[in-house]
Structure 1
Amino acid sequence: MTQARRGFLTGGTWCVDYNRSISHWPEEDGIAELFEEERHGGGPSCNLALDLKRLDPSIPVETIGLVGDDDNGRYLLGVAQEAGIDTRQMAVLPTGATQYCDAYVSRSSHRRTHIFHAGTGASLTPDHFDFSTTRMRFLHLGLPGVHKTLDSPWRDEPNGWVAVLKKARAAGLQTNLELASIDSRRMAALVAPCLPHLDYLVVNDAEIGAIAGVETVSAATTDRAACERAARAVLERGAMRMVAVHCPAFALAVLRGADTVIVPPVAIPADEIKGANGAGDAFAAGLLYGIHEGWDIADCLRLAHATAAASLRSISTTGSVVGWQDCLALAQSWGQAAFAVKTAPME
């Protein structure tokens, strides 16, 4: 059954991002200068879907989400349809505002700060997810921590995310879960019951530490060995075929019964970087696309890095992602960066 499937189903967060480039993120009662602002689609269900269609317009992509009957909702539907994404399961709620996010990108640090309004996202439930007719191969689901109903117990399940993942796997889909930068204890509590129902987990250095209960980042320095230990610990707690960890300094993938694969990042010139908003989604899109196409895992990680690097050229989440061949060509022209991380001895 799996071999007959092709393409991706993205589910969960569809929101409007109001992306703003600012001089720096100020302290309370401080002031910062605004340089650019744009409206774009956002959230992992939106971002991964758009990134995949940019990487390969021929890849089938379907989506499941919930928007409001308002200008933002119509905008998101238009964005998806223009990209060639199947929106038959993108429901419209007659009442309530479409979920939106103010996304600030600091020009001084290139870091992002998100302030969101849950809107219709709070009303998304497992009942919105119907996998009975899809022929897609992968489900990419997110975001735990920003969807009130899915974050809560659902019938006999510890949360709605588990209910969705179990339905997806029962229908023959392979599953991946995208995370948000929420409190580490809250993240761990939401994700732990999902691990037995995931085929893949693609997270950043801080997220893998939160899930595993391992310190992976200290004084803004990532400990690569700690990330690998955390990834292997999480792999053993779940059903995943692979756990991948990414950060600006490296990417690694741990697989059952295999050596860890580690790939250095792209040496993107500093003057090309406009913001990191959506870079994690772009990384996941490149990685999952390579897996879908049957590539060697090291090549999948190289495309993931290349896609993330291409995305850094815009303050929006998906605006500067290009075809996969072009992403790899850009990465080749910039070259690989050297590893620059703390590497504590393996325990």
Structure 2
Amino acid sequence: MTNGGAPYNIVKNLRTMNVDFALLLIGLIGNDFNGKWIIDDCIKSNIDINQLEITSCTNGLLDEKYFNFSETNAKLFYLGPLTQLNRLDTFNNNDNKRTNASKVLENTLLHGLETIVDFSSGKNIDYSHIAKSSLPFIDHLIINETEAGLIFTKKHNK
């Protein structure tokens, strides 16, 4: 699949594989042609979109309030790309060692889901700090050598 980013691509591929567990998308989706196309495709593919909200500036607005795992039968939770999710990458006012994303991931684990996270190679002044905040709550991490270098503050030579 090549549309809608990694979360959409993964649920579509899992649907194509006829997995026997619930598939859903949680979060925000753009209020544009592509967003509407993805929603229509999810409905046709029997992918739950009850926790998907249509808005603009999706990466910039996504935060903890959009994630409710209390009534899901899902087994896996995919979050990404960290370091590009403005509010989730923000450090909590009460604990400057924890990002909002790390709290979402911890809550996900407490509800019995496996966590999968990917990072973007984009520039973020707090890249390493953001990543290290979430690492304890990640079951499966998807990164390349550039992102590994950014997490562990090493320069990557191309």
The reply to whether residue 208 of structure 1 matches residue 117 of structure 2 is: no
Contact 2:83 2:124 in 1 (8 A): no
1:187-230: per-residue Cα shift (whole Å, max 9, x none)? 21211110111122121121122212345x43x3xxxxxxxxxx
Contact 2:4 2:34 in 1 (8 A): no
Alignment CA distance shift 1:42-1:72 (3 Å): closer
Question: Which residue number in structure 1 is paired with residue 18 of structure 2?
Answer: 57
Q: TM-score, normalised by structure 2?
A: 0.83
Contact 1:184 1:211 in 2 (8 A): no
| CA distance in 2: counterparts of 1:156 and 1:62, whole angstroms | 31
Alignment CA distance shift 1:92-1:136 (3 Å): same
The reply to whether residue 197 of structure 1 matches residue 137 of structure 2 is: yes
Q: How does 1:30-45 map to 2 (within 5 A)?
A: 41-45=3-7
Return the offset for 1:139.
1.1
1:250-299: per-residue Cα shift (whole Å, max 9, x none)? xxxxxxxxxxxxxxxxxxxxxxxxxxxxxxxxxxxxxxxxxxxxxxxxxx
Question: Which residue number in structure 2 is paired with residue 148 of structure 1?
Answer: 86
Q: How does 1:86-235 map to 2 (within 5 A)?
A: 86-93=48-55, 97=56, 119-157=57-95, 158-183=98-123, 186-215=126-155, 217-218=156-157, 220=158
Alignment CA distance shift 1:144-1:122 (3 Å): same
Question: Which of 62, 66, 71 is residue 33 of structure 2 equivalent to?
Answer: 71
Bigger relative CO (Cα 8 Å, ≥ 6 apart): 2
| CA distance in 2: counterparts of 1:174 and 1:205, whole angstroms | 23
Q: How many residues align?
A: 154
Range that drifts further, 199-208 or 164-173: 199-208
Q: How does 1:227-306 map to 2 (within 5 A)?
A: none
Return the offset for 1:183.
2.1
Q: Which amino acid aligns with 2:65?
A: D
RMSD between aligned residues: 2.2
Rg larger in 1 or in 2?
A: 1
Q: For structure 2, which runs of at least 5 residues remain unmatched after alignment?
A: none
Return the offset for 1:69.
4.2
